[in-house]
Amino acid sequence: MDFNSKYGKCPIYYTISKIQGKWKWAILYKLYKSKVIRYNKLWNDLKPIAHRTLSKQLKELESDGLVHREQYNEVPPRVEYSLTNDGQTLSPILELMSDWGSERINSDIK
């Protein structure tokens, strides 16, 4: 069953289908703030995410056209990630989410 048959043309469902996952928003935010980031730096910044999970979510984001992966054939190998133009269009949402969390984070800590 394709997306339109299942959900119709609902823009919210479409958006959620592209960015669902526990870590995708955090990955997008790190890429937004860093502009370009290497895999190991991203993994270190997002611990306790598992390598397998990070790799899978990056591949999904790349497949959906939100993340660009650049591989350099060097020794040791170097891979860098950045947001695509489509990924950059999420930056206002990422900023709003960050602002919302920053305003409320201290009130939830007990």
Task: Find the CATH number of the domain harbouring 52.
Answer: 1.10.10.10
pLDDT at 36 over 60: yes
Q: What is the pLDDT of residues 47-78, one digit of tens each?
A: 999 999 999 999 999 999 999 999 999 888 89
pLDDT at 43 over 80: yes
Task: Count how many residues are written for the chain.
Answer: 110
Split into its structural domains, the chain has a count of: 1
In a domain, 7, yes or no: no
Range of the domain at 32: 22-108
In a domain, 86, yes or no: yes
In a domain, 5, yes or no: no
Would you give the distance in Å from CA 89 to the centre of its chain? 12
Contacts of residues 44-52 at CB distance under 8 Å and 24 or more positions apart, as own/partner, are 49/23
